[in-house]
Structures are given as C-alpha cells and as structure tokens.
Amino acid sequence: MIYLVRHGETTWNRVGRQQGHDDSPLTETGVDQARAAGRTLQRAIPDIQSVCLETSPLGRARQTALIIGDVLGFDPNKILVTPLLIEHHLGYWQGLTQAEIDTRYPGAWQAREENKWDYVVPGGESYALVAERAKQWLAGERHAAITIAVTHAIIGRTLQGAYGGFTPSETVARSHRQDRIYRLDAGRVEEISCDA
C-alpha cells in the first residue's frame, strides 16, 4: 500500500512561480497542511512500525516529510530520500510565473497546454519522461508493508497514472492537491481528504 502526499504550500506556490527542481520554503498554510496530512495518516495507519517514509530530495518535500514524521512519531533518521520522487524538471521556466514565461518564450506555454504529455520544457522534461521515473519507482523494492511517499504535483499525477493504468490524458487531468492524500492499493487510486 502506498500513500502519496504532496508537499505543503510554498511561497512560490502562493505567487504562481514554477518550481520544478528549484525550491522555496513552506508557508504557514503549508506547515498546517503537512500536519493535517500527518494526522490523517495517523488515523489511517494503526501500526507505524509497518511504515517506510520516503521523500523527494527537494527541500519543500523534505520539510513536509519531517513534519509528517513528527506527527507520526517516526524517527527522522529513518526517512529515505529518494531521487526518483523529485518533481518534473521545468528547465528554463523554473522560478518564472506564467506571464514571465509568455514574455520570454512566446507561444511556449500554449504549445505545452496543447500537448502536455509529450512537450519537453526547454532544458527540462515532459510528462512522458516523468512517467518513466514514476514507473521505475513503482517497480522498485518496497521497504515496508506501507509506504508514505512525499512528492510533488506532476510526479504525483504520473505515479497515480502509472499505478492505475490511466491514459496520458487521464494522467495529466489527475489531481494532486496539497490538502489530499492518494492511497494506491489493490490497483485502485483513492483520494482522501486531510482533516484540519
């Protein structure tokens, strides 16, 4: 069983900046979202000994994983940092807003909107490339009966898509909200609301 958790809201999320492999810290709301995810997982998982907590190497995910681990009483030294869980590389767009992308790279945003699955962001990745990483992670060894994976929006969607056997268009349309957890179990993807 796998629980996917997106990192809490960051300062760049709040102002609409593309993060990709760049980073920004959690806001107070983001910290609250991470705590709520931890409480939701605490209710869902009766035995913390059966859990492996993995996280993307990016700071916003690691900060979220530490908060969740604290709520669960999980030893922070046992959190696994997993490079395959890193977010979609947004290349030259990282740190920019949509308006800034439109100014610097006219037509690029629209081109991506028309074919999100295959469009490779200049200097970065496409959804299709991220999906290959998602499949690789899903095929890897699980270290416990239950895995909590702290991820990001796009890698989270592609993990759901790869696990559930969704088409590219279904995968791109998936949600990976910061106030939801996604349980992957028995071939199904279930969305769970995080209580405040």
DSSP for 114-152 reads HTTTTPPPTTS--HHHHHHHHHHHHHSPPSSSEEEEEE-
Relative orientation angle of helices 153-164 and 127-139, to the nearest 10 degrees: 60
Catalytic residue among 7, 89, 152, 176: 7
Catalytic residue among 9, 21, 28, 87: 87
Taking the domain 2-193, which CATH number applies?
Answer: 3.40.50.1240
Q: Is 5 helix (H, G, I), strand (E, B) or coil?
A: strand
The full DSSP string for 9-67 is: PBHHHHHT---TTS---B-HHHHHHHHHHHHHHHHH-S-GGGEEEEE-SSHHHHHHHHH
The model's pTM is 0.95
CA distance 42 to 73: 9
Q: What percent of the chain has pLDDT over 70?
A: 99
Residue with the two structure tokens 């958790």: 5
- Looking at residues 40-58, what average pLDDT do you find? 94
pLDDT band at 35 (very low <50, low <70, confident <90, very high): very high
Q: Decide if pLDDT at 46 tops 90.
A: no
CA neighbor of 2 nearest in space, from 52, 77, 76, 55: 52
pLDDT, position 196: 55
pLDDT, position 47: 87
- Looking at residues 174-178, what average pLDDT do you find? 91
- Looking at residues 37-53, what average pLDDT do you find? 93
Q: Is 166 helix (H, G, I), strand (E, B) or coil?
A: coil
162 in Cβ contact with 1 (< 8 Å) = no
Known catalytic membership, residue 191: no
pLDDT, position 48: 86
92 in Cβ contact with 105 (< 8 Å) = yes
How far is C-alpha 39 from the chain's CA centre? 18
pLDDT tens-digit map of 134-151:
999 999 999 999 999 999
Ordered by start, the domain boundaries in the chain are 2-193
pLDDT tens-digit map of 101-136:
999 999 999 999 999 999 999 999 999 999 999 999
Known catalytic membership, residue 113: no
